[in-house]
């Protein structure tokens, strides 16, 4: 097991290294000069411009800059923001809290309501199952930006039940403020989770093993819990993990729509202003989050399914 985790961590690090190269390369090739934002409307002497280019390492060759940036990142220095004239790290700090809360809230909703309704749909009678399924058919088809503007106009502006923007103060006020964004964020992915959970559990319920358990006269709760849910957990864990990665990426759109001061809002702003340091740092952060989620899903799979352990050649 430790060996398996070590290999997966190394793979994750390799992924990060390659992605850092791609992110850095993409921004290097992107049109536009960050210096023009730095200078603005002022006129500077050639010496001053050269000094600025020197300060931001704009004249060094690509690979040198990449290695230097990577070295800085590893030592905890994410660079400086050209527009905010501040360390990227201190810009990220407070915004990270908002985004983390948003995603954590969305994850809880996905697991509790998404997986929960999936279980209900899989085990309930036909009529209820069909109603849930029909709901998810609509849900999966609604992109988060459409959901966001609809929710704002109906529940925030029209009915006035929820605030339309801002992250709120204090924990519960924050949750209250984040409710609409979370709905917008989870509508499609949550519907998808419901469908996958239902399908996975239906498949498990149809297995001979479940028939054998019924033939043994086991209590219904035991059959559902230990034979259907337990065995259906592997695909469900996988899809929840994948959904989480899409939530991380999707939060960019939702934060923008609800004017939440999170990482996503910072990213869109930084892209518009060619604030390369910030864009690089956030991209790297998002990719790190995805790599960690994938790693966790892999480990969960190995823990819950001995057959995966066997395939991977891991001793329990």
Partner 1 sequence: MTELLEVEDLVVELFDGAEWVRALDGVSFTVAPGEIVGFIGESGSGKSTAVNAVARLLPASARGSGSIRFDGRDVLAFRQRELARFRSEELGMVFQDPRASVNPVTTVGEYVTEGLRKTKRMPRAAAYARAEQLLGEVGIAEPAQRLAEYPHQLSGGMLQRAVIAAALSTDPRLMLADEATTALDVTRQAEIAAILRAATRERGLGTIFITHDLELAGALCDRICVMYRGRIVEQLPAEELHGGARHPYTLALLRSRPSIEERMPRLPTITAADREAFLTAPAVAAGGVGGASASEASTSEASASEGGAR
Which residues are at the interface with partner 1 (CB under 8 A)? 207-209, 211-219, 222, 226-227, 230-231, 304-307, 310
- The token pair that represents 142 in the structure block: 């609604």
Min separation Cβ 316 and partner 1, Å: 8
Cβ contact 98:261 at 8 Å = yes
Nearest residue (CB) to partner 1, 223 versus 279: 223
Q: How far is the CB of 211 from partner 1 (least distance, A)?
A: 7
**Closer CB to partner 1, 85 or 307, in the complex:** 307
Query: Nearest distance from residue 215's CB to partner 1, in Å?
Result: 4
Q: Nearest approach, Cβ of 209 to partner 1 (angstroms)?
A: 5
Burial category of 121 from C-beta neighbours within 10 Å (exposed 0-12, middle 13-18, buried 19 and up)? buried
Could you tell me the smallest distance in angstroms from the CB atom of residue 226 to partner 1? 7
Q: Are 191 and 239 in contact (CB under 8 A)?
A: no
Of 138 and 212, CB closest to partner 1: 212
Cα separation, 227 vs 212, whole angstroms: 10
- How many Cβ atoms from other residues are within 10 Å of residue 315's Cβ? 7
Separation of alpha carbons 64 and 183, rounded Å: 44
Q: Which is nearer to partner 1, 85 or 216 (CB)?
A: 216
CA angle 142, 146, 149 (to 5 degrees): 140
Closest to partner 1 by CB, 136 vs 197, is: 197
> In degrees rounded to 5, what are phi and psi of residue 81?
-85, 130
In the bound complex, what is the minimum distance in angstroms from residue 125's beta carbon to partner 1? 11
- Per the listing, tokens 């609809």 go with 150
**Shortest Cβ 128–partner 1 spacing (Å):** 17
Do 312 and 4 touch, CB atoms closer than 8 A?
yes
Nearer to partner 1 among residue 115 and residue 228 (C-beta): 228
Q: Is 79 left (phi over 0), alpha (psi -120 to 50) or beta?
A: left
Q: Is 304 helix (H, G, I), strand (E, B) or coil?
A: helix
Looking at residue 25, the DSSP 8-state letter turns out to be H
Which residue number, 1 or 249, has a Cβ lying nearer to partner 1? 1
């Amino acid at each position: 097991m430790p060996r398996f985790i070590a290999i997966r961590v190394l793979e994750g690090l390799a992924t990060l290294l390659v992605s850092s190269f791609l992110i850095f390369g993409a921004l290097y090739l992107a049109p536009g000069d960050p210096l023009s934002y730095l200078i603005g409307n002022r006129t500077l002497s050639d010496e001053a411009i050269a000094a600025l280019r020197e300060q931001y390492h704009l004249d060094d060759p690509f690979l040198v800059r990449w290695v230097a940036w990577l070295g800085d990142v590893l030592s905890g220095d994410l660079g400086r923001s050209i527009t905010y004239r501040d360390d990227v790290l201190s810009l990220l700090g407070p915004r990270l809290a908002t985004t983390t809360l948003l995603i954590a809230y969305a994850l809880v909703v996905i697991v509790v309501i998404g997986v929960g309704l999936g279980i209900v749909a899989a085990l309930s009678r036909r009529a209820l199952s069909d109603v849930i399924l029909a709901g998810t058919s609509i849900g999966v088809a609604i992109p988060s930006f459409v959901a966001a503007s609809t929710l704002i106009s109906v529940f925030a502006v029209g009915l006035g039940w929820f605030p339309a923007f801002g992250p709120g103060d204090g924990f519960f006020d924050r949750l209250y403020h984040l409710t609409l964004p979370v709905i917008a964020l989870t509508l499609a992915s949550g519907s998808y989770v419901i469908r996958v959970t239902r399908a996975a559990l239906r498949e498990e319920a149809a297995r001979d093993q479940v028939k054998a358990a019924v033939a043994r006269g086991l209590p219904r709760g035991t059959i559902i819990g230990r034979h259907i849910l337990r065995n259906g957990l592997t695909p469900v864990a996988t899809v929840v993990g994948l959904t989480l990665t899409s939530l991380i990426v999707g939060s960019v759109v939702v934060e923008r729509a609800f004017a939440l001061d999170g990482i996503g809002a910072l990213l869109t702003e930084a892209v518009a202003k060619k604030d390369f340091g910030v864009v690089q740092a956030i991209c790297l952060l998002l990719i790190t989050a995805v790599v960690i989620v994938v790693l966790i899903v892999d480990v969960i799979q190995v823990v819950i399914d001995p057959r995966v352990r066997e395939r991977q050649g891991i001793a329990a």
